[in-house]
């Protein structure tokens, strides 16, 4: 607890993403021992603490006040307080508030501990049943189609959060761009209505065109096929266009020849100017 002789510690505490039973004993102990709990929503965290029988002071720390609040919390740590950091669900700092405070504590050279716990991202990666030794997490997927396709065209698998209102549109864009791309839509993970829909982009897009999704969604997209051929195909396309061919028709023919989706080569041609 608070000591005037030694600095305190920031303890990053993951909380359940849907199933209260996933709260770890270490996190429960850290919350009980904290002098102060910084949380995204004091009402939501207050309910969690009430269920645990914990009575501790709360201070809100969310995206609109984190920059302003972080210095005062660092001062509390310097005074010897133990501060627990939680978000509404999952691990703070992963598309949730927390990064600014963690960075401030690290810059100040103060003790920092991150406890393991629930993560929708890791749960989705495993539930996708794809060979994902390496993958990119992009947070919330871009809303604009051009930015979305640019993300999807990067090498390697992609993992991101998506809104149920935009999921069908995102999947349709992917299906038109790369219909055979492997996809897993992981919905309401750890909750009573958990669902994982796996298949090609075309198959999964067709499913959600008829079934409106609800709840929180993590989208896992496998690596683009034949990504290594894109550079060589672009160079070939440039030579063919110089010889007088129309870019769209030439891109379609070359893409089919090297096994790329028809639209990908032409889209790459347009992006390179």
Residue with more model confidence, 114 or 4:
114
Task: Examine the pLDDT at 248 and tell me if it is beyond 90.
Answer: no
Backbone angle region of 99, left / alpha / beta, with phi > 0 → left and psi within -120 to 50 → alpha: alpha
- pLDDT score at 229: 53
Nearest to 178 by CA among 203, 207, 159, 142: 203
Tokens 């396709």 found at: 149
User: Chain-wide mean pLDDT for the chain?
Assistant: 91
Averaged pLDDT, 217-228 = 81
pLDDT class for 262, splitting at 50, 70, 90? low
Task: Examine the pLDDT at 3 and tell me if it is beyond 80.
Answer: no
- pLDDT score at 249: 86
Please give the helix or strand (H or E) that residue 185 lies within, else none. strand 182-187
% of the chain beyond a pLDDT of 70: 94
- pLDDT score at 190: 96
- pLDDT per residue as tens digits for the range 30-81: 999 999 999 999 999 999 999 999 999 999 999 999 999 999 999 999 999 9
- pLDDT score at 265: 78
Rg of the chain on CA atoms, in Å: 23
Query: End-to-end alpha-carbon separation of the chain, Å?
Result: 60
pLDDT class for 250, splitting at 50, 70, 90? confident
- pLDDT per residue as tens digits for the range 127-140: 999 988 889 999 99
- 32, two tokens: 């009980």
- pLDDT score at 5: 57
Of 78-92, 151-165, 257-271, which range is least confident?
A: 257-271
pLDDT class for 174, splitting at 50, 70, 90? very high
CB proximity list for 104: less than 8 A, separation 6 or greater: 70, 71, 73, 74
- pLDDT per residue as tens digits for the range 145-169: 889 988 988 888 999 999 999 999 9
CB proximity list for 80: less than 8 A, separation 6 or greater: 2, 3, 4, 5, 6, 7, 8
Please give the helix or strand (H or E) that residue 85 lies within, else none. strand 82-86
Averaged pLDDT, 240-258 = 82
- pLDDT score at 238: 86
- pLDDT score at 109: 96
- pLDDT score at 228: 46
Q: Is the pTM of this model over 0.85?
A: no
Task: Examine the pLDDT at 91 and tell me if it is beyond 60.
Answer: yes
Q: CA-to-CA distance for 198 and 118, rounded, in angstroms?
A: 22
CB proximity list for 113: less than 8 A, separation 6 or greater: 9, 10, 11, 12
């Amino acid at each position: 607890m608070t000591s005037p002789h030694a600095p305190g510690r920031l303890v990053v505490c993951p909380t359940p993403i849907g199933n209260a039973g996933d709260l770890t004993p270490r996190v429960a102990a850290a919350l009980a021992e904290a002098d102060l709990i910084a949380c995204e929503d004091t009402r939501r965290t207050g309910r969690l603490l009430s269920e645990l029988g914990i009575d501790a002071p709360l201070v809100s720390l969310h995206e609109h006040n984190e920059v302003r609040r972080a210095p005062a919390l660092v001062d509390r740590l310097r005074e010897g307080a133990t501060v627990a950091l939680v978000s509404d669900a999952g691990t703070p700092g992963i598309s949730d508030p927390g990064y600014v405070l963690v960075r401030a504590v690290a810059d100040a050279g103060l003790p920092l501990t991150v406890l393991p716990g629930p993560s929708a991202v890791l749960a989705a990666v495993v539930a996708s049943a794809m060979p994902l030794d390496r993958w990119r997490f992009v947070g919330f997927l871009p809303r604009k189609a051009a930015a979305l396709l640019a993300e999807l065209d990067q090498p390697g698998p992609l993992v991101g959060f998506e809104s149920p209102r935009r999921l069908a549109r995102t999947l349709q864009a992917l299906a038109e761009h790369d219909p055979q791309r492997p996809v897993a839509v992981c919905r309401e993970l750890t909750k009573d209505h958990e669902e994982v829909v796996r298949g090609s982009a075309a198959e999964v897009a067709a499913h959600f065109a008829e079934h409106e999704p609800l709840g929180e969604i993590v989208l896992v997209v496998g690596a683009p096929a034949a990504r290594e051929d894109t550079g060589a195909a672009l160079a070939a396309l440039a030579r063919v266009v110089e010889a007088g061919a129309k870019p769209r028709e030439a891109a379609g023919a070359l893409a089919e020849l090297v096994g790329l989706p028809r639209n990908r080569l032409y889209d790459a041609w347009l992006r390179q100017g």
